[in-house]
A = this chain, B = another copy of it.
């Protein structure tokens, strides 16, 4: 699966047992508060849209969102659909492994296709 390219940001799939997307701000910027108002709004709207589409498509137990960038100091956000059966729940995906995952999820391609259409018509 490729990326989704918008003018202010792009989206990447993070390979994982769970549905996990990353939004990268395109302009080199280290902290989110240093983004322009347009970049902030675009990212918040994209996170909101992705969360809603993930909830509809996967019916997860929880959505998780995070922006760290300690290793890669370029503003990027993680958004993940979490399930009671995934390997880390209820820990964050960066926490201690809890079990072997027994997740069976539908393919991600239709979600990415929907996001591509909705993001490009709204925010790209």
Contacts and interface: CB of A to CB of B under 8 A. Distances in A.
Contacts of A63: 31-33
Nearest to A67: B65
Interface of A: 30-33, 40, 44, 47-48, 51-52, 55, 61-71, 73, 82, 89-92, 94-95
Given A66-B92, A67-B66, A40 B31 contact: no
Nearest to A80: B68
Shortest Cβ-Cβ A-B pairs, 7 listed: A70-B90, A66-B66, A33-B51, A92-B94, A94-B95, A65-B67, A33-B52
Contacts of A30: 62
A94 to B, nearest CB: 4
Contacts of A94: 91-92, 94-95
A71 B61 CA distance: 11
Given A51-B31, A55-B31, A90 B71 contact: yes
